[in-house]
Amino acid sequence: MVWNWQLEKWPDFTCNRRDLAAREAKFLEQAGILIGASSHLSENDQVDLSVSIMVVEALDTSSIEGEILDRISVQSSIQRALGLKTPQRKHRPAESGIAEMMVDLLKTSKEPVSHEMLYRWHAMMMNGRRDLDRIGAYRTHDDPMQIISGASYAPKVHYEAPPSESVLKEMAAFIKWFNKTAPTGKKPAPSVERAGIAHLWFECIHPFEDGNGRIGRALSEKALVQGRQKPVFTSLAGELLHHRKKYYQQLELASKTLDAGKWLGWFADIVLGAQARSQKQVEFLLAKTKLFDGLRDQLNERQEKVLLRMFAEGVEGFKGGLSARNYMTITGATTATTTRDLVDLVKKDALLREGERKSTRYYLNLERVA
């Protein structure tokens, strides 16, 4: 098998920009809408927006790699890294590490990429790992860097990256291109095209022993953020997680050619879907503000605590809805008090009720404030 890095013209990826023009235009249009909508949020809600998107991105980019993290731990780690007040709690290294990386990505979103930046991200993500030879540095092992599946006695090789001895040279060329094609660089490239090629190129080099997928997606996010006036993240990892199988298939196909047109077309659709996810986050926070404004001085302390807890779960809310038992756990209320509070919240159109008896579940009534 011949891989794209073995081709004569590597790493000169090609594409027909006319095929991407409509998607690039839609990306810029939706970016403007997203920034405009988020400008209506209060300062606190804008912080909440940044935190909520980073939390979801951290969880989703890890889930793509099969690593399931605790949402509350990731959220408090991100809040702490941003200097926000959060209850003291213990965090696993993986959760605090990905949180640190997401915050660093936000804070340095407009800065050029460097070897040192990538080393820093890798060191953050691999926090606590004891099974890697090199953390915060490119790989140097002699064994081939391969992506394989199947049984050990009959493995299927999906991709083999350039040898370790050439990684530093490959990454120097990649970094030079990334910075040159930035909006403020010497040869600016369209945002979606640049983000797609950055991800593909980085994954083809596969410079680290582990964590390449997460850093590659972070680089794409950085490219998309640099293409906007305001650093609002696109929910890229969430959309890729939703299309995980196709994502790996498209990367594998693209690793055999320097014609990136098919990959970029697919990636552009993913970016537009990711923007729609971010827009839902903004609308969700606007709904939260309107709901609490509409119920000002009408909620008791228990009801307010539960509603805030439900909003903290994000757009998807509690899995399976809020139960009476959930309410009692959150508030410490008795069964009778819980029933009265929930009936009142439904009456006030704050919650929607579904089911009967033990199967009764409650959901935020976002239509009330749409």
Average the pLDDT over 74-87 and give the result.
89
CB 262 within 8 A of CB 17: no
What band does 61 get if pLDDT is binned at 50, 70 and 90? very high
pLDDT band at residue 230 under the 50/70/90 scheme: low
Instruction: Decide: 287 and 370 in contact? Cβ < 8 Å.
Output: yes
The token pair at 209 is 């022993």
| Class of domain 297-369 (CATH, top level) | mainly alpha
Cα dihedral 156, 162, 167, 170 sign: negative
- Comparing CA positions, the residue from 221, 232, 230, 217 lying closest to residue 52 is 232
CA distance 66 to 61: 9
Amino acid at 51: V
CA–CA distances in Å: residue 33 to residues 5, 167, 195, 272: 39, 40, 20, 13
Per-residue model confidence (pLDDT) at position 231: 62
Contacts by residues 82-90 (CB-CB < 8 Å, ≥ 24 positions apart)? 82/47, 82/50, 82/51, 84/47, 84/51
Mean pLDDT of 108-119: 96
pLDDT for residue 30: 87
Give the pLDDT band (50/70/90) at residue 370. very low
For the chain, what percent of residues have pLDDT higher than 70? 98
Domain boundaries, the chain: 4-284, 297-369
Under CATH, to which class is 4-284 assigned? mainly alpha
Q: What is the pLDDT of residue 219?
A: 97
Per residue in 150-162, pLDDT (tens digit) is 877 888 899 999 9
The pTM of this model reads 0.86
Name the band, by pLDDT with cuts 50, 70 and 90, for residue 229: low
Residue 59 has pLDDT above 90, yes or no: yes
- Is residue 109 within 8 Å of residue 226, measured between CB atoms? yes
Q: Which residue has the higher pLDDT, 93 or 193?
A: 193
- Give the CA dihedral 133, 171, 229, 101, nearest 10 degrees: 0
Cβ atoms of 362 and 342 closer than 8 Å: yes
Give the model's confidence band at 232: pLDDT under 50 very low, under 70 low, under 90 confident, else very high.
Answer: low
pLDDT band at 221 (very low <50, low <70, confident <90, very high): very high
* Chain length of the chain: 370
Model confidence at 368: pLDDT above 70: no
Task: Assess whether pLDDT exceeds 80 at residue 106.
Answer: yes
Write the CB contacts of 91 (distance below 8 Å, at least 6 apart in sequence): 73, 76, 77, 99
Is 300's pLDDT higher than 90?
Answer: yes
Establish how many alpha carbons lie within 13 A of residue 1's alpha carbon, considering only the half-sphere containing its beta carbon.
14
Query: Phi/psi zone of residue 279: left (φ > 0), alpha (ψ -120 to 50 degrees), beta?
Result: alpha
10 Å CB burial of residue 183 (0-12, 13-18, 19+) is middle
